[in-house]
């Protein structure tokens, strides 16, 4: 049976509706999965119009009612944003509120077994916080929705896979959160997530926090007090973890095949190499020409993948957005569903 993937549409004023239309019109899915958009009719219909795509819209109440044909958007329309109720490229509270509601509904479907995985489109933090949804991103929304306690952000881009010990906190706050318990839990999540991606015996590099992984305490103490004990505990549990590997070389080693995944200590330590490999810009216009990469939340009771970019307000409503990251995210979700069924990891 083909997996059903619930795709939250993202902020209506961003590129979410457009990339959903392009991903489901220009790429064939009938042989791999049944994609279902959770969003609103008017923004999807307008994206069909301005992209010039020939694609039908099939309204359903639940993802299990979706039809399995190409060039068709199966849509759960929540009737939150209608004609004339959004402006492209603008931060709007009603759009922020709706974007969170789409995510929550998609997760609700997955938790109830009405969908096999969730793939999320881009949302705008300022917009949903303006609407009173005080979260720092998708990860925290989904953790709240599912009641998850031990979870982490996993990024996939090119030859790199990176999972994070800390994410949306200050540098000072990140240092405080790098504890032996937290590092061990993320190493364990790294091992489980690689198996969901089809890597049966993953090799895990654990990055240091300080320059040269602190040179045995010369430049800091986090490695000896928190990171190294967590690595030893992971090895005792049968996990192939190595480190602390100096952060200035660990990504080169992972890119060239020495490791399957890197455990990064903080947000930018992991995001910078992923985006360096996956993002491209036009030096004349200053605009992105490619934004590849996939963001996953691991440790939830559901499978969740996502685009690894934002709402791109400068491109909205113009037919310029690149759907590549969404296509990749759907494919990752399908892979994880398959390997979850095979390995019974969760």
In a shared domain, residues 132 and 6: yes
In a shared domain, residues 179 and 286: yes
> Does residue 53 lie in a domain region?
yes
Q: What is the pLDDT along the chain (346 residues), one digit of tens a residue?
A: 899 999 999 999 999 999 999 999 999 999 999 999 999 999 999 999 999 999 999 999 999 999 999 999 999 999 999 999 999 999 999 999 999 999 999 999 999 999 999 999 999 999 999 999 988 889 889 999 999 999 999 999 988 999 999 998 899 999 999 999 999 999 999 999 999 999 999 999 999 999 888 777 767 789 999 999 999 999 999 999 999 999 999 999 999 999 999 999 999 999 999 989 888 888 988 877 777 789 999 999 999 999 988 999 988 999 999 999 999 999 999 999 999 877 655 5
Q: Which range marks the domain in which residue 97 is found?
A: 1-148
Evaluate whether 155 touches 293 at the Cβ level (below 8 Å): yes
Q: Which residues have a Cβ under 8 Å from the Cβ of 141 and sit 6 or more positions away?
A: 100, 103, 104, 133, 135
Q: What is the pLDDT of residue 343?
A: 63
What is the longest distance spanned by two Cα atoms in the chain? 63
Give the chain's count of helices (H) and strands (E).
12, 14
Evaluate whether 78 touches 61 at the Cβ level (below 8 Å): no
In a shared domain, residues 139 and 171: no
Q: 213: phi > 0 → left, psi -120 to 50 → alpha, else beta; which?
A: left
Q: What is the pLDDT of residue 97?
A: 97
Query: Among 148, 171, 192, which residue terminates a domain?
Result: 148
CATH code for position 207: 3.40.718.10
Q: What span, in angstroms and rounded, lies between the C-alpha atoms of 104 and 161?
A: 26
In a shared domain, residues 132 and 157: no
Q: What is the pLDDT of residue 168?
A: 84
Given the structure tokens 């299990």, which residue do they identify? 64
Q: In terms of C-beta density within 10 A (0-12 exposed, 13-18 middle, 19 or more buried), how is residue 95 classed? A: buried
Q: What is the pLDDT of residue 330?
A: 97
In a shared domain, residues 143 and 214: no
Evaluate whether 325 touches 308 at the Cβ level (below 8 Å): yes
Distance between start and end Cα atoms, the chain: 19
> Does residue 112 lie in a domain region?
yes
Stated pTM of the model? 0.92
Q: What is the pLDDT of residue 344?
A: 58
Query: Among 104, 127, 148, which residue terminates a domain?
Result: 148
């Amino acid at each position: 049976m083909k997996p059903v993937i619930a795709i939250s549409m993202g902020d209506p004023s961003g590129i979410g509706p457009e990339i959903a239309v392009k991903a489901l019109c220009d790429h064939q899915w009938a042989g791999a999965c049944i994609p279902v958009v959770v969003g609103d009719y008017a923004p999807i219909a307008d994206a069909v119009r301005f992209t010039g795509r020939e694609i039908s819209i099939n309204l359903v109440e639940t993802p299990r009612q979706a039809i399995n044909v190409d060039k068709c958007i199966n849509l759960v329309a929540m009737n939150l944003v209608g004609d004339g109720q959004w402006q492209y490229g603008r931060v709007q509270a009603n759009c922020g509120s709706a974007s969170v509601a789409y995510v929550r509904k998609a997760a609700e479907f997955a938790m109830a077994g009405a969908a096999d995985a969730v793939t999320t489109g881009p949302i705008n933090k300022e917009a949903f916080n303006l609407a009173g949804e005080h979260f720092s991103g998708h990860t925290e929304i989904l953790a709240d929705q599912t009641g998850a306690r031990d979870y982490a952000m996993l990024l996939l881009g090119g030859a790199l896979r990176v999972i994070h010990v800390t994410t949306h906190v200050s540098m000072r706050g990140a240092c405080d959160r790098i504890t032996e318990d937290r590092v061990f839990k993320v190493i364990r999540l790294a091992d489980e997530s690689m198996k969901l991606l089809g890597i049966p015996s993953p090799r895990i590099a654990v990055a240091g926090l300080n320059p040269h992984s602190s040179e045995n305490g010369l430049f800091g103490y986090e490695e000896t007090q928190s990171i190294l004990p967590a690595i030893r505990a992971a090895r005792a549990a049968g996990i192939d973890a190595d480190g602390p590997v100096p952060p200035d070389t660990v990504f080169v080693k992972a890119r060239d095949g020495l490791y399957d995944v890197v455990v990064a200590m903080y947000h930018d330590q992991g995001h910078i190499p992923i985006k360096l490999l996956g993002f491209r810009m036009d030096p004349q216009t200053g605009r992105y020409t490619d934004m590849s990469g996939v963001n996953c939340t691991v440790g939830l009771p559901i499978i969740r993948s996502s685009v690894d970019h934002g709402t791109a307000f400068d491109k909205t409503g113009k037919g310029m957005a690149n759907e590549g990251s969404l296509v990749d995210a759907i494919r990752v979700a399908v892979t994880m569903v398959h390997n979850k069924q095979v390995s019974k990891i969760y």
